[in-house]
Amino acid sequence: SDYSRVLKELNDNDGELTYSTRFDLAVKAFEHTAGYDGAIANYLGGRTPDNDNADFPRTFNAQFVKVQDMRYGENPHQRAAFYAERNPREACVATAKQLQGKELSFNNVADTDAALECVKPFADPACVIVKHANPCGVAIGADIEQAYDLAFATDPTSAFGGIIAFNRELDAKTAKAIVDRQFVEVIIAPTIAPEAVEIVSAKKNVRLLACGEFDGERAKSLDYKRVTGGLLVQDRDLGMVAMEDVKVVTERQPTEQELNDLLFAWEVAKYVKSNAIVYAKAGRTIGVGAGQMSRVYSAKIAGIKAADENLEVKGSVMSSDAFFPFRDGIDAAAEAGITAVIQPGGSMRDQEVIDAANEHGIAMVFTGMRHFRH
């Protein structure tokens, strides 16, 4: 509230306000009315004269509040600031409380958001390690320490200088395991045990964030992507797939363990840059192939990453964020030792891909849902 300072200034200056105070109050007044008018315009513009919902308003108005200025943006020559929604409806980086560490950078915020969003959907204790907005290790476990151990083992090289997110309270044991094992930029969890804060304080530059408990259901909201001269707006990708949603398209049915791993890998692939391939086994990632222009090369990279860390691919499952246009991705998976595949389906050559899976004795399921991420 500005009442106290305004009253004091009026009393101190014979009933007058300084120019700087009047300017500041004017900015606040117009910010408030602009936000109010924008909300009304969005509501009315998003409806038809018959009071039905329209897809999107004719004009798009959004208001965000500055959280902080940043030293620089994605690169040192770019200026940057961080803005938050006025009333975020779920645990997020924008409202997380920083308990220690250096000021968050532009890239820290982007990567921490990617890690937190990836870890949220899992019901079991889970850990996600992110580097450059891509998960390099994801695992579920009996507790978060086990989940961290398994996630780290997927790709220790990429985990160096990464972002770590948990879906449970960060405890002292897990905090010690992290600081003893690796250099980390940010750790985020719903809550942080006091003992964990003390342990991490030995690494004074590590940014430690408490984002608050997850409420369960994800908030439906919009994603924005800036293009030169315009803005792309879409629904947030909250699409989920359950066991009853998948369609087995091969001669061999997946085993119960394979099906559990397929759904785990599918959830991870949603947060990997396209073209995305995820190898997984027993509730952990074995290899991740991200951001390649060719899907088959993403599959090959996932296998290479697993081999580099001496992780056995044989008996693992594979998830693909989009359909396989040719059989080569299945052939590469079979050569690596993959036994089951989950993908959207929908290619003109689906039958060719199914035939390849049958030739290799691979079980394959279709989800009917794509998860491109750019």
For every one of its 374 residues, what pLDDT tens digit does the chain have, with 9 covering 90 and above? Answer: 789 999 999 999 989 999 999 999 999 999 889 888 888 888 888 777 777 777 788 888 888 999 999 999 999 999 999 999 988 888 999 999 999 999 999 999 999 999 999 999 999 999 999 999 999 999 999 999 999 999 999 999 999 999 999 999 999 999 999 999 999 999 999 999 999 999 999 999 999 999 999 876 677 888 999 999 999 999 899 888 988 899 999 999 999 999 999 999 999 999 999 999 999 999 999 999 998 999 989 999 999 999 999 999 999 999 999 999 999 989 989 998 999 999 999 999 999 999 999 999 999 999 999 999 98
3-state secondary structure at position 79: coil
Name residue 226's beta-bridge partners: 231
Question: What is the third-level CATH fold of 239-366?
Answer: Cytidine Deaminase; domain 2 (3.40.140)
Q: What is the dihedral of CA 341, 345, 347, 353, to 10 degrees?
A: 30
C-alpha distances (whole Å) from 334 to each of 68, 299, 301 are 49, 11, 14
Q: Are 164 and 157 in contact (CB under 8 A)?
A: no
How many residues make up the chain in this entry? 374
Does this model's pTM top 0.85? My answer is yes
Domain boundaries, the chain: 3-45, 87-210, 239-366
**CATH class assigned to 87-210:** alpha beta
* Residue 63, amino acid: Q
C-alpha distances (whole Å) from 140 to each of 42, 214, 244, 267, 368 are 41, 17, 22, 12, 25
For residue 256 the two structure tokens come to 């119960």
* Residue 349, amino acid: R
Q: How is residue 95 annotated by DSSP?
A: G
